[in-house]
């Protein structure tokens, strides 16, 4: 079984603490593919790269982790340029920390949740893109209902791990489709065509 998802580089930065209230709203700017939110009296922000970098884990050395994903400062500069249109003070703040990592993207932008085909009593939850934390309570409930009750109480067929059939065995197709999903992740629906 190959899970229908591909790891994509994720870049974020956090400013030095500057009295940003935790009640400051999360700002999502879809037409700029950016977001910013409060974190530890500072701002955490990121940018969804229109040319995402896929990470083939099979080609990485033993012990590879998110710390090994190289930061791309140009992406953070792009995020700052785009976000200053809605938050001009961002240009006055220094960067305290660059964060890089990976998020798992699927070809259709939907989660992968449910029983693994051909593996009895094995469940999977992945492919959450940039919404894993926000969706974790629902995904956890579905998985616990599968274990305890045999099925979730809600319709979750759209997240079926087997929904792409044998296409997931084609690494090139999976990588390309996941990159396309990531590149369009924050775009407004009318601009995705």
Would you say residue 172 has pLDDT above 90? yes
**17-54 pLDDT, tens per residue?**
999 999 999 998 888 888 999 999 999 998 888 889 99
Q: In what order do the strands lie in the sheet with 95-105?
A: 27-29, 34-39, 42-47, 6-15, 95-105
> How many alpha carbons fall within 13 Å on the CB side of residue 141?
8
Stated pTM of the model: 0.83
Where does the chain hold its CATH 3.30.9.10 domain(s)?
A: 6-104
Write down the residue that tokens 């197709």 correspond to: 173
CATH topology of domain 6-104: D-Amino Acid Oxidase; Chain A, domain 2 (3.30.9)
pLDDT grade, residue 61 (50/70/90)?
very high
């Amino acid at each position: 079984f190959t899970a229908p998802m591909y790891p994509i580089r994720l870049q974020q930065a956090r400013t030095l603490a500057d009295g940003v209230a935790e009640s400051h709203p999360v700002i999502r700017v879809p037409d700029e593919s950016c977001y910013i939110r409060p974190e530890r009296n500072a701002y955490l922000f990121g940018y969804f790269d229109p040319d995402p970098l896929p990470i083939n884990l099979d080609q990485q050395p033993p012990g590879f982790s998110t710390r090994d994903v190289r930061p791309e400062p140009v992406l953070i500069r792009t995020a700052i340029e785009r976000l200053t249109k809605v938050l001009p003070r961002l240009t006055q703040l220094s960067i305290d920390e660059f964060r890089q990592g990976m998020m798992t993207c699927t070809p259709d932008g939907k989660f992968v949740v449910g029983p693994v085909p051909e593996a009895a009593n094995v469940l999977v939850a992945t492919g959450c893109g940039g919404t894993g934390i926000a969706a974790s309570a629902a995904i956890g409930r579905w998985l616990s209902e599968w274990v305890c009750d045999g099925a979730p109480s809600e319709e979750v067929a759209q997240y079926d791990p087997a929904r792409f059939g044998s296409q997931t065995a084609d690494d090139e197709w999976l990588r390309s489709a996941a990159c396309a999903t990531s590149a369009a992740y924050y775009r407004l629906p009318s601009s995705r065509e």
